[in-house]
Structure 1
Amino acid sequence: MRHFFSILGGMGTMATESFIRILNQRTPAKRDQDYLNYILVNHATVPDRTSYLLDHSQPNFLPDLLADVKQQNLLKPDFMVMVCNTAHYFYDQLAAASDVPFLNMPQETVKSLKQHYPRAKRVGLAATEGTISSGVYQQYIYQAGLDEVDPTPAIQEKINRLIYKSIKEERGAVDAPLYHEILADMMQQLKVDVIILGCTELSLAQELAPNHQYPVADSQSIMAERTLALATKYQKNKA
């Protein structure tokens, strides 16, 4: 197979499935051959990212992801994309190990947010506790001249419930009222201008329950757009 990219996924699997679905839906294809060439690494057994970031005595997920990157290097993809926000804690190490460009989900999300919400100043971050505590998004938000606003403990509890119980435990089921309640709480209680969906499970919630009025920067949707654009560019340049 020529002109393909590699997707590091499986963190979690239902969210990765959402990414693939969005990517395929947005590809301007009228026949089988018009779709993108890619390899999906659905590495479901990668140790829990948040568990490690909150407690370094827990299994470290970096060795598994480094092994995936090195394995994909042997196949010579055009680029790699990793569809897990929390795993970007080790972005620098993974990008350094990659022989090809490695897309950065938090960086691309903040860049898109600036383009689509140029007047935004206060940015709410809806994400796992691991993403928030480790500052995965912090540097990009601050570099963009924005203020990061993290959830209150009460809102975080709702986010955790949506991610781990509604979606992970119930295999992709989305509690739409709970998702909309989280967005409303962040807008009204935290007085933010826009909300980053900094977890791919939240992106799945957005895909399946988009009927709300709140401004969001959906990291997985944005990554799908960047992936599509880059894959198209490589295919045209190397045709």
Structure 2
Amino acid sequence: MKKFFTVLGGMGTLATESYVRILDQRTKTEKDQDYLDYIVVNHATVPDRTDYIIDHSKPNFLPAIVEDVQQQSLLKPAFMVMICNTAHYFFDEIQAATDIPIVNMPYLAISTMKKQYPNAKKVGLICTKGTLHDHIYEDYITDAGFELSLGDAEIQDEVESLIYDDIKIKGSVNEEKYYHILQTMHDKFGCDVIVLGCTELSLAQEMAPDHDYDVIDAQSIIADKSIELATKVRRGEDIDFSKIY
């Protein structure tokens, strides 16, 4: 297979399935051959990202992802996407392991937010404790000129419960809990836009989209970018990947 891209997934599996489902649904097709060419690496046994970021005595997830990247690089994909926000803690190290461009999901999400909501003042971030700890989204949001709200300990516990108790463990989305999180970030903390900084939250958005709150869904955005880039690759067009690092 030529002119394809690689999806570095499995962190977690249901979130990766959500990305692939959105990717295929949004691809304009009239026949089988119109779908995109890609390889999905569902590496479910990659150590927990948050565990390591918070406690470096826990297993490091970097070697597993670097191994995947190096294996896939031998196949020469046009680009890669990594469907885990928290794993971007090691983005520079992962990108350094290959000459193949890897799309930076958090950077892409906040760049899109800046264009889509230029008049927003306060931006809320909901994500894993690992993503909070590594400050990746926090830095991108503040560097873009927005005021940032992380909520409080109570809302973070609710977010963690939705991600781990409901989606990762039970394999289901608690719509009521998801809506309550969005409502609290909007009403209590005054957030104009809420960034979904975890792909499990993107799954929640896919399964429970019927609300009135403005959200930035990083997984949805990178799915659209994947379609755009893969289409250009198929057409043989040149791509400036430096704009999406």
What is the TM-score of this pair, normalised by structure 2?
0.95
d(CA) in 2 for partners of 1:215, 1:48: 29
Q: Say whether 1:150 aligns with 2:150.
A: yes
Q: CA deviation at 1:35?
A: 0.3
Match of 2:102, SS state, is coil
Letter in 1 for 2:143: Q
Structure 1 match to 2:242 = none
Letter in 2 for 1:88: H
Letter in 1 for 2:160: N
CA offsets 1:142-178 (integer angstroms, 9 cap, x no match): 221112211210000110110001111112x111010
Pairing of 1:17-28 with structure 2 (within 5 A)? 17-28=17-28
Q: CA deviation at 1:114?
A: 1.0
Structure 2 match to 1:174 = 173
Q: CA deviation at 1:25?
A: 0.3
Q: CA deviation at 1:24?
A: 0.3
d(CA) in 2 for partners of 1:98, 1:106: 19
Q: Which moved more, 1:30-39 or 1:146-155?
A: 146-155
d(CA) in 1 for partners of 2:201, 2:208: 10
Pairing of 1:90-169 with structure 2 (within 5 A)? 90-169=90-169
d(CA) in 1 for partners of 2:92, 2:151: 26
User: Unpaired runs of 5+ in structure 2?
Assistant: 238-245
Q: CA deviation at 1:188?
A: 1.1
Letter in 1 for 2:192: D
Q: Which moved more, 1:61-70 or 1:137-146?
A: 137-146
Structure 2 match to 1:89 = 89
d(CA) in 2 for partners of 1:213, 1:150: 20
Q: CA deviation at 1:192?
A: 1.1
d(CA) in 2 for partners of 1:224, 1:155: 28
Structure 2 match to 1:14 = 14
Provide the aligned length of Structure 1 versus Structure 2. Answer: 238
Q: CA deviation at 1:55?
A: 0.6
User: Unpaired runs of 5+ in structure 1?
Assistant: none
d(CA) in 2 for partners of 1:139, 1:127: 14
Match of 1:137, SS state, is helix
Structure 2 match to 1:183 = 182
Match of 1:75, SS state, is coil
CA offsets 1:114-133 (integer angstroms, 9 cap, x no match): 11111112110010010011
Q: CA deviation at 1:139?
A: 2.3
Match of 2:136, SS state, is coil
Identical residues among aligned pairs (%): 54
d(CA) in 1 for partners of 2:227, 2:98: 20
Letter in 2 for 1:215: D
d(CA) in 1 for partners of 2:193, 2:33: 38
Letter in 2 for 1:45: T
CA offsets 1:72-127 (integer angstroms, 9 cap, x no match): 11000000000000000000111111221110000000011111111112110010
Structure 1 match to 2:203 = 204
Match of 2:235, SS state, is helix
Letter in 1 for 2:232: K
Q: CA RMSD in A?
A: 1.1
d(CA) in 1 for partners of 2:204, 2:38: 24
Q: Say whether 1:55 aligns with 2:55.
A: yes
Letter in 2 for 1:148: L
d(CA) in 2 for partners of 1:138, 1:156: 15
